[in-house]
Structure 1
């Protein structure tokens, strides 16, 4: 069974619609998919409807990826199997969206101060109602020729110490974990190696995440080597956590795809060990 528990639609910073994402997942042989847009569940209804209407052999896990603050680091926590109708949880996500707007306004102000005009207006057009992210800023700056690639934008404008960087204003990590638990979900520490923490800090993160009520860490994600997977799994074992797997798919690239290389070794305990999942099926999508 192929399981991918971390993916994005254009409701945040992905490029595919929810319908296109679930169709792509089936075409890539994925049996179980979590949609985990940034601080929003706006894509879930369309994804559910597409699966039902097209009778896709895909189990959808309702999810979200919450941006959090931990010792001035921005840490992302994925919530899996959340109750997407929980009114209190929806209020929490609305508060995160307000934080995103405030941060975007300040980023735009700083960029405009450095002679890049009409930033917020154009970023809002690109986002088209989606949860605002730095990716939308990066797309705009590439579009107007300020950089040749998204990576260059982040290095030159949006990273710490540069013109458009604004310190995060996210909810504390421990609080976000409690939001997810209260909504009946499973908190998962997303892409742990992406934060570029040294061994001591990464261990501390795993320990405090577990103490806060966290349940799993992404042990398999895009471009992780077998050695890295083993190192992260050892952290899970040390702090009583299970293992998750997610591509963090945003769009088609040469280095990442839905369901690709998300395998575990036999001794790894997956986060879905107690989930009731259907038997995998294979179908060919019509063109």
Structure 2
């Protein structure tokens, strides 16, 4: 069976609607899919209104947080989206996300780009704004040629749109997830560009607040990366997760269901459910 436990829809920064994503995942041979939109459970709320799905869909969410002033993401897998604690957490994060978007727009206005908030909102089609929506707006108005240039010039680390947001801390986020009966998983640890020593420190702190798992596989990554993360996962006795981190078609590094298998020594997170 193919488990893809990390994907996004138009309810955050993906390009497909929840139904379109589910159908594409089924076509790709995925058997179990987790929709993990950023600080949002709206996709699952939409799917609840639909008839039977062509595959099993796991209710999930990807929360934004910080660790030592570094942005990190925590997945809540197999959560009860009707949990009052989880819904309160989502509302908190949505408010923080809106304030962050307003500050990004202010910084971009100072850089000469007016109406960036309206432009990003138009791109998103909702109020769940992230830097990718601002990046697409900058592409749309011809300020940059592509996403990479948008982040390099305006939205990346140390640039005008790099706003340090006070998201909920890891302790609070893990509590929301576990109160909702879910499994708290550290998302794509390799993307934080940490030394091994700092990565282990992050994992230790995550465990200390109740974290239960980590993504050993995130998209198409190098075999040595998978091995290294599997070793940490095993040493720390964490559950292992895997996913494409799919956002849109046409990204070969993040295709639905197309990523390395979990190493045999790992205990898959779905065995915990």
Please name the residue that 2:32 is paired with: 32
Please give the alpha-carbon distance, in whole angstroms, between the structure 2 residues aligned to 1:222 and 1:9: 16
SS, match of residue 273 in structure 1: helix
Does structure 2 retain, via aligned residues, the 8 Å contact 1:82–1:186? yes
- Cα deviation for residue 130 of structure 1 reads 4.4
Q: What is the TM-score of this pair, normalised by structure 1?
A: 0.92
Cα RMSD, aligned residues only:
1.2
Please name the residue that 1:256 is paired with: 254
Give the 5 Å matches for 1:37-116.
Answer: 37-50=37-50, 52=51, 55-116=52-113
What stretches of structure 1 move > 2 A for 4+ residues in a row? 45-50
Please name the residue that 1:211 is paired with: 208
More divergent stretch after superposition (162-171 vs 41-50): 41-50
Please name the residue that 1:283 is paired with: none
Give the total of aligned pairs.
272
Please give the alpha-carbon distance, in whole angstroms, between the structure 2 residues aligned to 1:146 and 1:49: 40
- Cα deviation for residue 227 of structure 1 reads 1.3
Whether 1:156 and 2:121 are equivalent positions in the alignment is no
- Cα deviation for residue 49 of structure 1 reads 4.0
Please name the residue that 1:268 is paired with: 266
Please name the residue that 1:17 is paired with: 17
Gaps of 5+ in 1: 276-287
Does structure 1 retain, via aligned residues, the 8 Å contact 2:233–2:266? no
Shift in CA distance, 21/130, structure 1 to aligned 2, threshold 3 Å = farther
Give the 5 Å matches for 1:169-184.
Answer: 169-184=166-181
Please give the alpha-carbon distance, in whole angstroms, between the structure 2 residues aligned to 1:262 and 1:10: 26
Q: What is the TM-score of this pair, normalised by structure 2?
A: 0.96
Please give the alpha-carbon distance, in whole angstroms, between the structure 1 residues aligned to 2:128 and 2:233: 31
- Cα deviation for residue 238 of structure 1 reads 1.9
- Cα deviation for residue 160 of structure 1 reads 2.0
Please give the alpha-carbon distance, in whole angstroms, between the structure 1 residues aligned to 2:64 and 2:89: 12
- Cα deviation for residue 176 of structure 1 reads 0.8
- Cα deviation for residue 262 of structure 1 reads 3.8
Please name the residue that 1:202 is paired with: 199
Whether 1:168 and 2:161 are equivalent positions in the alignment is no
- Cα deviation for residue 92 of structure 1 reads 1.3
- Cα deviation for residue 250 of structure 1 reads 0.3
Please name the residue that 2:223 is paired with: 226
- Cα deviation for residue 45 of structure 1 reads 2.6
Does structure 2 retain, via aligned residues, the 8 Å contact 1:15–1:250? yes
- Cα deviation for residue 129 of structure 1 reads 1.3
SS, match of residue 153 in structure 2: helix
Please give the alpha-carbon distance, in whole angstroms, between the structure 2 residues aligned to 1:13 and 1:174: 25
Gaps of 5+ in 2: none
Please give the alpha-carbon distance, in whole angstroms, between the structure 2 residues aligned to 1:254 and 1:88: 37
